[in-house]
Amino acid sequence: MARTKLNERQLDALRRICHGETPITSDDSGLAPTVYALRNRGLVTTTWADGRWSAAPTEAGRRHLAPTDATLAPRPSTSAAPTAPEAAELISRLQQSGGTLRIANPTPDERARWRRALHAARADHLVPDGHHLQYTGRNKGDLVITLRPGLPPRHSTPSSETVPVPDDLPPERLHPAAATAHIPACPDCQPRARRILHALCQAAEIKNYTASTPKSGSAASLVITIGDSSFPLSFHEGSYEVLDPSSAKYAWQRVTARTTRPSHELELSLEHTYAHRGRRSHWGDRQRWRLEDKLPTLLREIAHRAHAEHERQQAQQRKEEETRQRWLAAMQQARTALLEDHRLKALRTQVRAWQEAAAIRAYCDALEGHHVTPDGAEGVTAWTSWARAHADRIDPVPQNPGLPDPPAITPEDLRPYLRGWSPYEPKRK
């Protein structure tokens, strides 16, 4: 049987599926056409789990990457021939460089050649025992290949958790929140929608969440609360348009008017918020699954949002507490600075009074030592006596002054010392 001829992109994808550390899944949307082409040729299979597929090689796919000598004979110059020496060279260069090899922005052909060497090193068991290979820069930027100690990390697989939805449930056995929920759907879909809500309520309560009816006036059908975070869930039923025969007044009249009919396809939506932008918020019936199959994914998304909001609240509280502590420190520094200014003012006042008293006494000494006529002696004596008494009154030294009493401080008194902080709350102006 002739071998299937693959292009370079298909060969590279097949090598990654057979020998790569991380499998190709539907998350690699750019590789989906390539995987489908390999699947159509019988080289890989795709298996579904929790709403996404993972690619796995078939025996034919493995044989395609390990051809016999007879198959290689007519193609001695193919790109697979020099891979083994390049793989050995790669391991040698990694060991010489301390475990990391960086190729700065290689061309697409160079990038593909290094990837082939990396996959061949794994396939041929050239990686030293107790180590594994990892790389970044698959399609752009620098290609960085590292030789790391330890076993390669396992690829996390989607959880097999299920949320069982009963096929039939009497109204009296419905969860109260499901029984009273507002569900904008046709009468035929109402029982199924309430069973879905019932299953969600039970699954939520098993996880210690709270399931309740929304507040009056809300368009939501159910509210699931985790900690301090509440997440409204809203039902929606699809619709489609058809021609409306009742719009024709006469049998011969052409029907052009259209009417809307329910599609019986249900969808549950989480409120779209800026805090969770980019996150999935709608789950519903599709050709390959039903809404019931997506309930575990919906609950995981709610748990993720609750965790994100809790982390955001914690970060906000930490930020507010840090701001408060900085404000308290600024307030304390402002009080200290105001008290220092108050003491400096008192000190300068005392120094000026002491200097003035000393100057008065020196002046009195000079006045008394000056030759005074008998007629003026009595007046000079009276004047110096009063002056000396005044110097004694203003001189702070005999009073043994200590630290001045602190002043009464108001918030506005602190404002000049706060460098932009408010004196009333931990905020800046």
Fold match, 1-81 / 83-158: yes
- Look up residue 394 and give its two tokens: 């203003």
CA distance 101 to 146: 6
Q: How confident is the model at residue 380 (pLDDT cuts 50, 70, 90)?
A: confident
CA neighbours closer than 13 Å in the CB half-sphere of residue 74? 3
> What pLDDT sits at residue 73?
37
> Residue 173 and residue 195: Cα distance in Å, rounded?
10
Arch. (CATH architecture) of 83-158: Orthogonal Bundle (1.10)
Residue for token pair 């109260």: 176
Amino acid at 395: D
What does the alpha-carbon distance between residue 229 and residue 299 come to, in Å, rounded to a whole number? Answer: 14
Per 3-state DSSP, the chain is made up of helix, strand and coil in percentages (nearest 5) of 50, 15, 35
Strands 143-149 and 131-136, sheet pairing: antiparallel
| CA-CA-CA-CA torsion sign (63, 69, 71, 72) | positive
The pLDDT tens digits for 186-227 are 999 999 999 999 999 999 999 999 999 998 888 899 999 999
Express each pLDDT in 109-161 by its tens digit: 888 888 888 888 887 788 888 888 988 887 778 889 998 888 776 554 445 57
Q: Which among 124, 144, 121, 120 is positioned nearest to 134, based on CA atoms?
A: 144
Which listed CATH number (1.20.1070.10, 1.10.10.10, 2.102.10.10, 3.30.530.20) goes with 1-81? 1.10.10.10
38: Cβ contacts below 8 Å, ≥ 6 apart: 6, 10, 13, 14, 17, 44, 55, 61
Tens of pLDDT, residues 271-327:
888 888 888 899 999 888 899 999 999 999 999 999 999 999 999 999 999 999 999
Report domain extents, the chain: 1-81, 83-158, 171-310
